[in-house]
Structure 1
Amino acid sequence: MKKVFTFLLVMCLSFSGTMIMAQNHALDFDGSSNKVGILDSPELNPTAAMTLEAWINAEEWQSSIWAGVIISKQGSGPDKGWCLSAGENGRLEFTVSVDEGWKSVATPQLLGTNAWYHVAGVYTGTQVKVYINGVLIGAEDAIGSLTPGEGVVVNIGENPTWTGRYFNGMIDEVRIWEVARTDAEIQASMSTELTGSEAGLVAYYPMNEGTGMTIADATSNGNDGQLINMSEDNWVDGFVPVTADIGVMGIASPSYIGSGFAADEKIRLEVKNYATEPITEFEITYQITGSDAITETVVVTIPPFETYIYTFEDLVDLSGETEIEITGSVSLDGDDNAANDVLTEMIEPTLNFMIFDEERHNYGGYGQTHTKTLYMPESLEDFSEIYIHIDLECPTGGCDPWDQPAKLMINKDGENYEIARYITPYGVACGGWTWDITDFRSLLVDEVDWVSYVQVWGASGWLVDVELELIEGSPEYPFVKIEKLWSEDNWVYGDPDVNDDFPEMDVMIHPETEAAKIRMTMTGHGQANTSNAAEFSDFTHHIWVDGEETFEQHLWKDDCDVNSCAPQSGTYLYSRAGWCPGQDVQPWEWDMDGHFTPGEMVNLDYVLYDYTNLLNTGYNGGSHTEPHYRCHTYFVQYSTEDIVGISDQSVVMDHIQAYPNPTTGLYNIKMVNDNIKTIDVYQLNSQLVASYQLNGDQEFQLDLSDMPNGIYMIKVQSENHTTVLKTVKSN
């Protein structure tokens, strides 16, 4: 089972109180013009704390998380107000303006379409939080008073300041509080009707009118709402909490990627529990057009919001087929939402796959960020090289006129990895850029979310083409382990009040590692300050290895005139700190040969040129940004032996056994025909947290009970072996 979020594994929500049954209505928003407007009033501008709540049922998600507004009172000049929104394939975001500016927290892609969810955003005075069905999904620090959105109206279904951000679906039971509600308080009343007199409740819209062009505020404040661009047809039945809803997420295999089908193909379907109760048994079916349907009963516990990939028992001979149409479906007692039960896809394996085909990116309704889930093969051992190709085209009306950073990422198990970066040209279509991403092969298996981002602020934007290419062959090193070092999109540089010293990183070298390198993508941005840093500053930085200055990085690109996008407008001819308008940004690579020892730690430090910005305010009247670097760095290890595997199970090898994994505290390590000398325990960031010297014992019980929950690397040194184990500690 794929563990999406460990904090959800034990959450089984129950609804208490009196369910809303009679006169239960909601409003259906079309995603293009419908909204409810509420005039500003003092009650709608809390300053110390607040909570927003609503029930939503999306028909379709907007491409960006901020583009589908549920309820908003955001304003600008200066930043002020708050917003609860959802989009980007089921992500929820809560944003508030505090003394420091906008602060937000977002969820992963947990929400589905055509199903009711309770959503909430809370600001406590020290944190901004976001909830789904009463479960805390995320929290971020945000200290200070709320900046009141005085003079800004409240909109349900659209943003009052940045128009065009419409919600597509149903909204019900909107509540605005001037207090920070607790988890227990949200859970206790989220599915019950309020009286309107509850302490701290400043606006409440049950939406039970079912007719007319207004919604009444059930509190004594009388902040009624006006339906805009809506009619009687927009009134629909209200929310009903869903306790049973399973849906097919995708066809996990056969994969779209490959040279053809095999004689022993696995049929694998990914399903998701969209409801508020665990699922323990359901039926699952697949049918390849022209063949009989195959149905099997699955007995497994899937907690709320979690996904599960089921593999059918018998292999299928698809050799000789060039394409297949396959339908996956699920059946669950009590599941009344048939909209997500069936999925049909046409699969035609190819070595060149278009991940994004003229996908429009802009600052309007299309959004800066686009995500596509692709089911990759379970193994890439038959491919020697993996490439990404990117091209830009102009939408109707022309391309965006500015040079802006853009990147392609993969999201694997909830974590983003930047794999390619480029800078858009000044208003012309071009591209032909290629990146070798073979180093990421261990992450490019099974389910992979591909994320394309262009920092574009105009309505025109770009049409982005992203093609994945795989080359068949035997790789020199079939096993590649890649780990993040420094991963920053806005590393402030030269500000006397901000420390720009990158932290030192300790990396555990696997005992079977045969080669290694550092891979860094680095560009400088911001100007109108001392030395026009960091965009136009010619500086040299260094990588230190184990306390010695080892590698040099002259971060300067002086060939901007040799540009495949020429002619452009703007200043594309000028040299810059690691980039040019209309060019790809290729990674720096440093070979670690001679600088590491298998089975030992290596210390890495990235030391920037010593720079102080003496003009640290203003930035040319606000037309430029503070000097900063975009730095994404990885440590890559290569081997002909498996150094990649991260098991969720107990370890059983010829020379060692270790269990249980995960563990609540006690972790047993037993050597086979060998004696343990030392055991070192590291956190995932490579910090040593415990060390044990043993007297030739064959067994040792490691106690992690007092350590925080998380992932730990355990290095076991015996007389004949050095073994690195990975375990998860959770209560």
Structure 2
Amino acid sequence: MNAGDITGMQVYINEAGSLAQDLIIRMAVAPADTFNSHFYTADWTTVYHNDVLPFFTGWANVAFTAAYSWDGTSDILVEVTYANEAGADDTWLRASDAGANRSIYASSSDRYLDLWNPVYAAVDGTPYNSLDQQITVSFWTYGDPVYQPQSGTTFEIRDDNAYRVVNVHGPWGDGVFYWDAGNDGGGSYDRINKAAAVADYEGNWTHWAFTKDASTGDMKIYKNGVLWHSGTDKTRSMAGGTEMRIGKGLWAGSQSYYGWMDEFAMWDAVLDEATIQEYLYKDLDEAHPNADDLILYYSFNDGDGIYESDASSSNADLALIGAVSRPYDPATLFRYTTMSNLRPDVIWEQGVFTSHLDSVLVIDTVLMDPVTLVTFDPADPTSGLDTILVWPGDVYTYLYDEYGVVADSVLVPATDNIAVEYYEYYSAPFEVVNRYELGRYITPYGIGLDLGDGFTWTFDVSDYRPLLHDSVRLAAGNWQELLDMQLWFIEGTPPRDPISVTNLWTGYKGYNTDEAFDDNTPAITMNLPADASEFRIKSRVSGHGFGGTANCAEFCAKEHYFKVNDDVVWTREVWRDNCDLNPVYPQGGTWVYDRANWCPGAEVWTYDFELTPFVTPGSTYTFDYAAEDYNWNGSGSFPYYQTEVQLVAYGPYNFDLDAAVTDILAPSGDDMWGRMNPICNNPIIRIQNTGASTLTSLKVEFGLKDAPYSTYNWSGELQPMEWEEVTLPDYVYQPADQFVVTISEPNGGADEYELNNTMTSEVAFPVSYPADLIIEFKANNKPNENDWFVYDANGNELYSRTTFTAGTIHKDTIHLEDGCYEFYLWDWDEDGISWWANSDGTGYLRIKDANTGTILKSFEPDFGGLIYQQFTVGTYVDIDEPLDAEDAFEVYPNPAADHLYLKIRLSGRREAEVFIYDYAGNLIHTEKPGRIQDETLHMDVSQYASGMYVAVLKAGNTWKKVPFMVE
């Protein structure tokens, strides 16, 4: 045969069979000696496509409809695919032994499961309840290229608490595979994950196997039988599963997997790599090494209704909730392969002829979509009895001609009549969910965001105590972040006992006009509980939508009103004006813009107001909630308020005279007050009147743990349940890990409940700088927006700069005595000195050592409205710190290289401790010599990084600080 077009082929038919439907012949070039047990992926050319009915034996000619161009030397690979009816006769060709494997074939009725949103499949039974320490799950998937990667769930198991036990996202919308297995009983689970190549999850069949051995802590993912990813220290158990889905998660809002799935299997054992590879392309059988450990096996080959059978011993059939079992197209078969030495006898034809293509009418039958019918028990109308698959009767089927026009119709009579009966009953036909919002926070912009080990938002949910008992379901509406929620139960007596919580208005409330908003929050008439004494309204609203009139409701400040019997008793502007001071920064997106009571990455404020003065227990009132006049012009996105308004009823006050410390804002390690910390003076606390009488005065004692306390006498006027932030004066500043504040003597009398009088907070020390500094500031293109100031511990302004030149670097040298200082850099446009969403250009702020030029601190330029930092200089000792004139503390040599000596001389024998801090305020070493009077300690500092350090001596009430340098 010569190089050129191959125009046909002849095969010898030994035994003619039935009609070969959709016969396709394809040819391709194949490199020599590449034959294996899998179908070859090639650059195929289709040379023939038609239905063929073999009707004689002997040589049969197949004239190609498209010639194949052969180069004269390459091996030729031929692929023949066709379909025939079940039970049809095979056609047998004559073949010869080629002396080596030269053919591979597959003949099966294999099927797969087709999944898309919102369909899925539910496991009928709980064989996975036997899982504990070991698991293997394997399956084939073919992701839909139109939708993948997509944030769907491949399968999931959850327990009675709706906690995740086992789960695969294959993949999530970021193209990452997530393998979750094991739960700690509180909602946390073990996970490994890895980004996959696009070809691994869309447009191709890929085999995945997921294993975990909790006893060793190993989790693994295998791709096409080869280890692809692994993780260690994963020891949580997989026990306790009570519900399982395939193709969709069990959590509210879960998306279904888009694509195809086949050969889903689960074992309560860990399969090794060799076993996974051995059964990659064939069905599971009794010879499988882990056959006794198999607890689920779905081949999806039933294809006859709404259930797929479980081929394991568990008999946990799979209910198809909209999902469909479909047969493979013959050309896509890739399993059940058999290799052979036999190769069909072929005569190749190379002819020159004129041909043309003509259309061939093929009659095909398409199955009508069935209807899933669920029957119910008349005695218990909400309990399903059976699910059957039916087709509508007394309908016409149609025969179409080659042009798609109806040529004939046939009436299909009904075979059965099923009557629908309606029953009146009064139990709920679905789970009744009474939703109460406990708190709300808005997720931050994720681009460029780094939360480190996480960020904690804290909410006081004491008013919801009547709801938080027995069994409740807690839900968070996030889709991407991993959340860890903790409930802290604080033992004690509340100011007043909450009796009940009532939702008044809840959910999405349109604000296209104020009248529409009023319609969405209609007046409510209710009788107040007679056993209550006090009442509070909680309003938690946030505005969304912009681009229309006044950029409402996200970027407009509008007043909201609460009415009692048509009288306005409360007014509040729904607005938050401090988004530029958000402790979660910098973020991507427009995080600095103030909004209608929300900021990205911050909590939504709850507006509490006391309703008690306007109502009487046991009486009936009409409540109404309204918003300021407004008309939307139809531009932009639809304006609305996410609204939660609740009524809380309480018993009487438990105390007449009581005050509480409810928070320490500074010094504090609380993430929410990160912008204010760390500090070396002027603590900020929050006090509250938790008694029935008006609070007018308090005694406040405060200080660092084990240091002398300072005293501050507060005076003011707080009505019951009102609170106030209080800035305290300077205090004794010395190394400690806790700050303590205690209040007493409310209104000059005895506090009736002392358990809420004391609070402690974690302390971090501010950075320590040398006395001579350079404030280096490069102005951006809007220099008039910035000012900086330096204040001492008494609030006196020492240095400042309020005028700058655009694009210019300004260097100001300042000298400071030992002490505590505050530095402020304001940006009055609240968008920092370098931000992506404006045209202000780029600036920077640095603090340098004036003697060496070393940069001590370079600040984040995307800071919003303020950079604030407290710092100390030199051997700062607070002015109120007691010192014994006879005590001495020396450090030498200074600078030190390898060795350091600390000479301590005290006026009397005392317990002593020495702390070593770096200049960032981090404690790096502690020495405890015990009770001493005159002692010299030796330290090895050879491993210390070059730089400044501070040695601090604590001996009784004596504190001494000595800075030293390591070269």
Q: TM-score, normalised by structure 1?
A: 0.36
- Tell me which structure has the larger Cα radius of gyration: 2
* TM-score with structure 2 setting the length: 0.28
